[in-house]
Amino acid sequence: MEVLLFGGFLGSGKTTVINRLLHDLTDQGKSAAIVENEIGTVGIDDVLVAQTGLKVTPLFGGCVCCQLTADLLTAVHTIEDQVNPDVLVVEMTGLAMMDGIRDTFARYGRDTLRLHTIAVVDMARWPKLIRAMEPVVRRQLAGADLVLVNKTDVVPADPEALEQMSQLAGGAPCRTLSAQSMEPGAVLTLIREVLR
């Protein structure tokens, strides 16, 4: 099972990207399931959920994030047993640190899982973030296989910033986009190309 794990700060556009991706996957006849580390109105496309019977599993973590990683892996294993979709998409809150999640999957996850981690960054907010909370940004990017630099319609991508992101992400590729206005198929193509 492919596991695509999305992380990134509050409001960076994770759900928007995921909705596009789910449409793209469905269009290609692929089955998907989703884990949401969020409550209430998560914003996953209701119509799509109704049409495809897409399974949305909520994931709740005790205090902040110490229990979350173990709970996430348990949930992933359960979904593989019960649903076994082609792709499992996971949306984490901005507080989840991806390098820790990767370690846990590597140590305790099944061999059948192929985990890809994707950090979504809001280009418009990047300068502020890196100035005010470098340690968090560093840890968020450290475990990413791919960095999606979103909202480039608001602020165009700055090459220096992209360089810095890629460096923090251990050389992982950065791709710019405006998730709000992507053509059908474009998000999937982008992710495919990089995470082969």
Partner 1 sequence: MMNGEALYQLHLDRIRKALACEPVDRIPVVPCANAYLARSQHVVLKEYISDFDKACTANLAELTRLDADGTQNVIFSPYLLGTQWLSKAAIPGVELGDDDMWQITEAENMKFEEYEDIKRMGWDAWQKKFIAEKCNDNWNRLEPFFAANPKAYQRFHEAGIPCIADFLMITPFEYFCGGRSLETFFTEDLMEEPELMHEIFDLVLESNLKTYRQQILDTHATGVWIGGWRTGPDLISPAMFDEFVWPSFKAYYDLCIEMGVIPTFHLDSNWDLCIDKFKRLEDKTYILGLDSKTDMRNARKVLGPNVCLLGDVPCELFAFGTPDQVADYVTRMLEDVGPWGVIISSGCDIPSDAKPENVKAMADAAHEFLNTHPQK
Ligand X SMILES: Nc1nc2c(ncn2[C@@H]2O[C@H](COP(=O)(O)OP(=O)(O)OP(=O)(O)O)[C@@H](O)[C@H]2O)c(=O)[nH]1
Task: Residue 22: name the closest of 100, 139, 62, 14 by CA.
Answer: 14
Amino acid identity at 68: L
- Exactly one of 11, 58, 127, 170 binds ligand X (CB under 6 A); that residue is 11
- Exactly one of 94, 124, 175, 185 binds partner 1 (CB under 8 A); that residue is 94
Phi and psi dihedrals of 125, rounded to 5?
-100, -5
Q: Interface with partner 1 includes 56 (CB under 8 A)?
A: no
Least separation in angstroms between CB 181 and ligand X: 7
Please give the residues from 106 up to 125 whose contact with partner 1 meets the rule CB under 8 A: 107-108, 125
Q: Interface with ligand X includes 43 (CB under 6 A)?
A: yes
- Exactly one of 1, 5, 7, 15 binds ligand X (CB under 6 A); that residue is 15
Q: Interface with ligand X includes 61 (CB under 6 A)?
A: no
Q: Interface with Mg ion includes 15 (CB under 5 A)?
A: yes
- Exactly one of 51, 70, 163, 189 binds partner 1 (CB under 8 A); that residue is 70
Least separation in angstroms between CB 133 and partner 1: 4
Cβ-Cβ contacts under 8 Å for 91 (sequence gap 6 or more) = 6, 14, 15, 18, 34, 35, 36, 37, 38, 42
Amino acid identity at 132: A
Phi and psi dihedrals of 87, rounded to 5?
-130, 130
CA separation for the pair 18, 43 (Å, rounded): 10
Give the other-Cβ count within 10 Å of 3's Cβ.
22
Using only C-alpha atoms, the chain has a radius of gyration, in whole angstroms, of 16
Residue (16 or 93) nearer to partner 1, CB: 93
Degrees to nearest 5, angle at CA 12 with 119 and 115: 25
Name beta bridge partners: 6.
Answer: 91, 118
Q: Interface with ligand X includes 132 (CB under 6 A)?
A: no
Which residues of the shown chain bind partner 1 in the complex (CB under 8 A)?
A: 9-10, 39-40, 58, 60-67, 69-71, 73-74, 93-95, 97, 100, 104, 107-108, 125, 128-129, 131-136, 139
Residues forming contacts to ligand X in the complex (CB under 6 A) are: 8, 10-16, 38, 43, 94, 150-151, 153-154, 178-180
